[in-house]
Chains A and B, each alone.
Chain A
Amino acid sequence: MDLFDLIGPVMVGPSSSHTAGAARIGQTARLLLGEEVVAADVGLHGSFAKTYHGHGTDRAIAAGLMGMAVDDTRMRHSLELAEERGIRIAFHPTQIRDAHPNTVRLSLYGEDGRTLTMEAASVGGGSIRVTKLDGMNVGFSGKENTLIIHHRDTPGEIAHVTGLLAEENMNIGAMQVYRRGTGGDALMVIELDGKPSAKVIAAIERTEGVSDVSFLERRDG
């Protein structure tokens, strides 16, 4: 276990799961969208729905959506900052079946027209788990170096991408694949020991059938 999960993270209070984890959910969603957020619809489930105002969960999510880290004290005024920047964020309680008690459902709209829907849970101590991405069930924490690749479900696609990583001598620690149906939209979530070069990411992006590549860099603590 990382000892800096026991002494750490440095974060804005008051709750590692309701504040730090919430900020990380916002931050992860922004990175996956791949551009600045201009509007967001945020549904809060379970314990999040009941206590989000008192814990600053709304402020934390807004801060994350603007790219602030969990220890950024501007988080306290993030809702006002979002308004100043013309970012529209709507919060409302919602119910999600069989979800962890601290789950968020986000729909994001980016400045260049990209959209993203995501569900994620804050699972304790500031750690999170992304559980749904653009309608597909997934399961990753974003703590490790993570490549998220949207592609078409065709034979050889996974072999090609992992081949490109092997050529760069990149070691895969964990990998998950998802799809909406045979031949339809599919996702690869690949956790890597190291950081992939811009060159290999570009090569993956150029791969036929790949529509989008995002990379989440490993967090310390």
Chain B
Amino acid sequence: MDHTLSEWIQLAGSGSLAQAAQRVQAETYGQAEEHVRDTMTRMWHEMTASARSGLDEGLRSVSGLTGGQAALLRRRLEAGASLAGPVLGRAEMYALATAECNACMGRIVAAPTAGACGILPGVLLAMTEGKERTEAQAVDGLFAAAAVGEAIASQSSISGAEGGCQAECGAAAAMAAAALCEMEGADAATCVHAAAFALMNLMGLVCDPVGGLVEVPCVYRNVGAVGIAFTAADMALAGIRCPVEPDEVILAMKEVGDALPSSLRETGEGGCAACPSVRARLKKQGL
């Protein structure tokens, strides 16, 4: 059974979006809520581990295009030089670290996909480390994120090949925005409107991986998307409501995805993928 965003708000009732997601998952698979929560906690631990391992300076991908760059962001953050500050700066660092861990064949949690796997760990770790939120709050954030992800996947798509990067990094930013609101104790409607803002602000983003590889621009887009998630959450938490009905934003995103030419849907033929400078670098590697 799939749910729209407005159905998730109804399911939450006077409770939180995370509680609703945990309950529905348990009911659907005939499992105890405790078991479902343990599984989500394990996902959180896995995310934390991949984010940390991606900080390794010596990391390199098979193509040599990415790896080891999150370590550079770390240096700036530790020097107190991050323009974004200690919270968002940390989100940038962990998003890049996780995305680079993925590019280098490390172990990650697809959230919702491998290509967009840095965004949720980025924002959640920024909250636990930078704002002293608890593990239990992070796990609640993941449940809220999963509910939003389901509404997007079932009404549109979470595949770059089908819907462009808006369906991957856009969906992940929407999920992360909802997670942030959940962690701040907001109600389900606030989470949903934050998700709608994030999706709206990344609408139209194309999927143009250089050489067809999940590296350029993917790893940098994970960093950009955490900024979108924070700004979307701040708007919703301030009480601003998305003027477009949130489920309609998802449907609009699907329409935009359908209208994208095939060259901008993960074929590695258009956008950044068509730029001669990076193509030449890949050719040298025999890729």
* A residues neighboring B (CB under 8 Å): 1-20, 47, 50-51, 53-56, 59, 71, 73, 75-76, 101, 124-126, 220-221
Contacts and interface: CB of A to CB of B under 8 A. Distances in A.
Interface string B271-287: 00000000000000001
B224 to A, nearest CB: 18
Given A12-B108, A54-B212, 14 more contacts: A3-B143, A6-B145, A10-B109, A11-B109, A13-B101, A13-B103, A13-B106, A13-B108, A19-B114, A53-B287, A54-B63, A73-B106, A73-B107, A124-B162
B32 interface: no
B147 to A, nearest CB: 7
27 contacts: A1-B150, A2-B29, A3-B150, A4-B25, A6-B153, A7-B40, A7-B111, A7-B142, A8-B109, A9-B110, A10-B107, A12-B105, A13-B108, A13-B117, A14-B61, A14-B103, A14-B214, A14-B215, A15-B114, A15-B214, A16-B114, A18-B214, A51-B212, A51-B213, A53-B287, A55-B212, A125-B110
Nearest to A59: B105
Interface of B: 1-2, 21, 24-25, 28-29, 39-40, 42-43, 46, 61-63, 101-115, 117, 120, 142-143, 145-147, 149-150, 153-154, 158-159, 161-162, 175, 211-215, 266-268, 287
Contacts of B111: 6-8
Most chain A CB within 10 A, of B63, B105, B106, B212, is at B105
A3 B88 CA distance: 27
Contact of A47 (B147, B149, B175, B267): B267
Nearest to A56: B105
Given A3-B143, A47-B212, A124-B162, A8 B110 contact: yes
Nearest to B162: A124
Given A6-B150, A12-B107, A13-B108, A124 B40 contact: no
Contacts of A5: 112, 153
Given A6-B146, A53-B287, A16 B113 contact: yes
A124 B21 contact: no
Contacts of B162: 124
B97 to A, nearest CB: 12
A46 B29 CA distance: 35
B149 A6 contact: yes
A14 B216 CA distance: 12
Contacts of B153: 1, 5-6
B275 to A, nearest CB: 17
Contacts of B113: 16, 125
A124 B168 CA distance: 11
Contacts of A12: 105-108
B218 to A, nearest CB: 9
